[in-house]
Chain A
Amino acid sequence: MGELDPYLIPALDGVAYGLLLFVVAAGLVLSFGVAGILNLAHGTLYAIGAYVAAWLADGGWAAVPLALVAGVVAAAAAGTALAGLLTPVRRGDHLTQALLTFGLALAGGSLLVSAFGPDDLPVRVPAALDRPIDLAGHSYAAYRLVFIVVAAVIAVGLYLAVTRTRAGMLVRAAVDDPQMVACLGVNPTRVRVGVLAVSGALAGLAGVLGAPIIGPGPTTAATVLLLSLVVVVLGGLNSVGGTLLAALAVGEIQTLGVALLPTAAPFLLYAAMALILAARAQGLLRRWSTA
């Protein structure tokens, strides 16, 4: 155990980072897999949540539920607005979607910077969590431990929602065969708007909870978007489990990987992404062309 000791903290950080990415990427999987929308503004939805957290959090407990509700509602509203704006764009026309959502991301990012200033904002967590605690001889930020627990609960909740509820069944059905779902009398527009609202809510939730980890700033949206795209690609689009594994892997590469292999780690992420995509291009193609 002795020689593993220095890597305990980066590994734990990787779990926190990975779970954070999972919650963001789950939203991206939903919008791409179910609604067929390549949403390049997804990172901006995260940034909305993170800015709301930085704005409302004052170090007290009362601000936590307030920031959660406000951040989730704001990002879900932005996701719904996105669904409305994307309505005239043909399904599957990913280039126009990219143009539109990237434009919205640019404009939204600019508005956020005008509203909150050009600097990275500090985020105050409740005082009880804003201290290191002792963990097997290491001191570790209490907030991150709590975050790992909360994010794990969210992950389990998402898994149950997708596999056990009627809405989750609809979502899975819409990934496999959107036309059949429409034939069964489910309004595709409602599915789209609902999916983008939930996708926004997940990004906002991740933004509020993750603000102390990936904080709000001018580059937040791009960072989160790129990392969650990598997660979506590595995890495929077929399972919550795949996305979770990919998110944890990316999280560990970003933390443990940097500690273990400082020269190779920066390449690992995108090399893995390119290789896996190329290797599975044929299999993915069939799935993605229907998505």
Chain B
Amino acid sequence: MKRLLLVPAVAFAAALPWLVDDYTTATLARLLVLGLVGVSVALLTGVTGLPTLGQTAPFAAGAYAAAQLGLHDVANEPVRLLAAAGVGAAFALLTAPLVVYARGVIVLMITLAIGELAITVASRWKSVTGGTDGLIAAPTLDTDRARYLYTLAVVVVLVALVLLALRSPAGLLLRASRDDEARMRASGHPVTAYLTGAYAAAGGIAGVGGALLVTTQQYVSPADFSFDTAALLLLGVVIGGAGSMLGAAAGTAFVFAARDWLSGLLPGHAPLLLGALFVVTAYLLPRGVAGFDWRRLGRAARAASPGAMRRRNQEA
């Protein structure tokens, strides 16, 4: 049933550029890109059990790879996509030894360090990245509408591939490694190799996200990959539900949309409302929107009401 709803949802998304103006179309394209990176974060955080603040690093690697190809007159989009995916996955394979032996909060800290290192490299390696000034990439597609539709197509195909992969034995192996690692190891499964594979795949997806970012905004700078971006990606994934790829994509897009929309609506007060949103989500939806049992809405709302929380505090 849920899967049937996806068809009209994608059709509606494809029709959107004819319903809104060009600026909104360009904004939506950027949100799609961030949603895709959110999927790569969810793949690690929810399915593999490696919560990450570092997917901005392969995201950046892919973006700069695509931008460099653009500067060298490679206007072929599929070539750029493949190159960005390759660079993102290669970056992930390089950093995998740092990540796959750790678990839980330590992964969060290691990936935080990897992300910060990536920004430092991006702002200092001026010959490749243009430093903090960033790089301007010539547009490969002429209109906002074309760029949006292209991004939508790539994102839909990739997310479908991820969903298929997770339904295959590979997805089962990853979830089993997350839930009972000792037992998997005892049955002879090379858990570390599985995690490395998932980490590299997530790096590749984030790399593609980077190439799409360059396509949609024709500009890339270290500010696109800041700690704020990394944190909002993780929080968007948690809000959407780290176990669900579609929930994660929607959650990420929603968080970034809320940030941009609120800062236009109430200049200076966007962080306050965004912060309040996170706090409310933490209480109401501990497993994210997608992990929420909607039939229990009434009960959950009562349990999370201030009165109930006060009672619980008194008991504790």
Give A residues with C-beta under 8 Å from B.
Answer: 38, 84-85, 87-90, 93-96, 98-100, 102-111, 113-114, 118, 189, 222, 226, 229-230, 233, 263, 266-267, 269-271, 273-275, 277-278, 281-282, 284-285, 288-289
Contacts and interface: CB of A to CB of B under 8 A. Distances in A.
A107 B110 contact: no
B86 to A, nearest CB: 23
Contact of B103 (A108, A273, A285): A285
Given A99-B235, A100-B282, 6 more contacts: A38-B105, A90-B286, A98-B235, A275-B98, A278-B97, A285-B104
A273 B113 contact: yes
Contacts of B124: 263, 266
A94 B108 contact: yes
A274 B275 contact: no
B277 interface: yes
B173 interface: no
B102 interface: yes
Interface residues of B, number: 49
B170 interface: no
Nearest to A233: B109
B45 interface: yes
B109 A273 contact: yes
Contacts of B278: 99-100, 102-103, 106
25 contacts: A38-B108, A87-B316, A88-B312, A94-B105, A95-B242, A98-B235, A100-B278, A102-B235, A102-B275, A103-B274, A103-B277, A107-B272, A107-B279, A108-B275, A109-B271, A222-B227, A230-B113, A267-B120, A269-B116, A270-B113, A273-B113, A274-B117, A277-B109, A277-B110, A285-B102
B299 to A, nearest CB: 15
Given A266-B124, A274-B117, A99 B238 contact: yes
A282 to B, nearest CB: 7
Contacts of A189: 316
A263 B123 CA distance: 12
Nearest to A232: B109
Given A278-B101, A281-B101, A87 B286 contact: no
Nearest to B95: A274
Nearest to A278: B98
Contacts of A104: 275, 279
A100 B103 CA distance: 21
Contacts of B279: 85, 100, 103-104, 107
Interface string B162-176: 000000000000000
A288 B271 contact: no
A275 B272 CA distance: 36
A288 B272 CA distance: 32
A199 to B, nearest CB: 17
A103 B313 contact: no
Contact of B106 (A95, A114, A226, A288): A288
Contacts, number: 146
Given A95-B51, A95-B242, A278 B102 contact: yes
Interface in B74-114: 97-99, 101-106, 108-110, 112-114
B28 interface: no
Nearest to B304: A88
A277 B275 contact: no
A222 B229 CA distance: 13
Contacts of B98: 274-275, 277-278
B37 to A, nearest CB: 18
A278 B103 CA distance: 10
Contact of A96 (B109, B231, B238, B270): B238
A267 B117 contact: yes
A285 B116 contact: no
A200 to B, nearest CB: 18
A109 B276 CA distance: 12
A270 B116 contact: yes
B273 to A, nearest CB: 8
Contacts of A111: 272
B316 to A, nearest CB: 5
A96 B286 CA distance: 6
Contacts of A99: 235, 238-239, 278, 281-282
B268 interface: yes
Contacts of A85: 279
B282 A84 contact: no
A42 B313 CA distance: 23
B104 A110 contact: no
A277 B282 contact: no
- What 4 A-B pairs come out closest when comparing CB atoms? A103-B278, A107-B275, A106-B275, A281-B102
Interface string B268-297: 111110111111011100100000000000
A34 to B, nearest CB: 15
Contacts of A105: 275
B234 interface: yes
Interface string B248-276: 00000000000000000000111110111
B13 interface: no
Contact of B117 (A94, A109, A270): A270
A266 B104 contact: no
A90 B283 CA distance: 11
